[in-house]
Chain A
């Protein structure tokens, strides 16, 4: 019977988990060591959510193919008026229709 865990695989996973945890704790440790946060650093931190999350979307809008690009545009239009769940619903409907039409 196959083993549940293999030691080398567990070692890699644990190392990756520790590295990831370090990224999640590290920024806090760095920033709280500063006595006073300069305004430009604060402006930079303020931009973090939009800046990082955009990088998780923009490349797929360009390289994901016409169906994905059009779907994201449709979701964007919905999102200007409504919340995230309607965006997901509309996007799913649009991409299914597009894939049915253009294969």
Chain B
């Protein structure tokens, strides 16, 4: 193993640890809620292993318990996960050099923190190596599975996540990721527009659409604000709509 590879693995594992700390309560919570809502532990584990998107998994098991039509459950999970379309478009410039199967694996593992960490590494001018990406991805994926099973076994022993203060960890973690991008162009107007858009959309449209609508508000602001430097003469059009 070259020193560079060793360095990549160490960096990825270290970042994965921070992700697992903040996501762990939700892995356990998902397992517990899933079993509580009538899934078997094996089914909960299958869901964590294949869907692998925490928020949408919680929405899914919530709907299972309400005997909602299957297609509506699938559509709801799709809606919650729609933001990943934006991730996979935005990350394209960093992972073009992946081989086809590396892309197939890479996109499967593409969760919020993995996307954010990849963008940050790309911003720093470091090439995204597949080893780094895979180690970071698996260092979250494997614990997520283990925690789901653990939550399913513990069931309701955990009780109320608010009582032990773990419900705030994920929002704080995401806030930390947002702050990590504050050197990017138009960061503040984008954040303000997304925040306002998501809060308004939550109020007037409802969950989970507030995520996509709020994100589109921020992205539209970035697309419409004046571009810096020599690109100012580019065609204006309405490129955001095509992205949606």
Contacts and interface: CB of A to CB of B under 8 A. Distances in A.
Given A8-B70, A19-B78, A75-B172, A43 B227 contact: yes
Contacts of A41: 223, 239, 242-243
B244 to A, nearest CB: 10
B191 A20 contact: no
Given A39-B227, A72-B172, A54 B91 contact: no
Interface residues of A, number: 70
Interface of A: 2-6, 8-17, 19-21, 23-28, 30-32, 38-41, 43-64, 68, 71-72, 75-76, 79-80, 83-85, 87-88, 91-92, 95-96, 99
B125 interface: no
A23 B81 contact: yes
B234 A12 contact: no
A85 B16 CA distance: 12
B175 A79 contact: yes
B134 to A, nearest CB: 15
Contact of A91 (B39, B88, B168, B177): B168
A48 B51 contact: no
Give 3 closest A-B pairs by Cβ, nearest first: A51-B218, A27-B89, A47-B222
Contacts of B225: 43
A88 B211 CA distance: 23
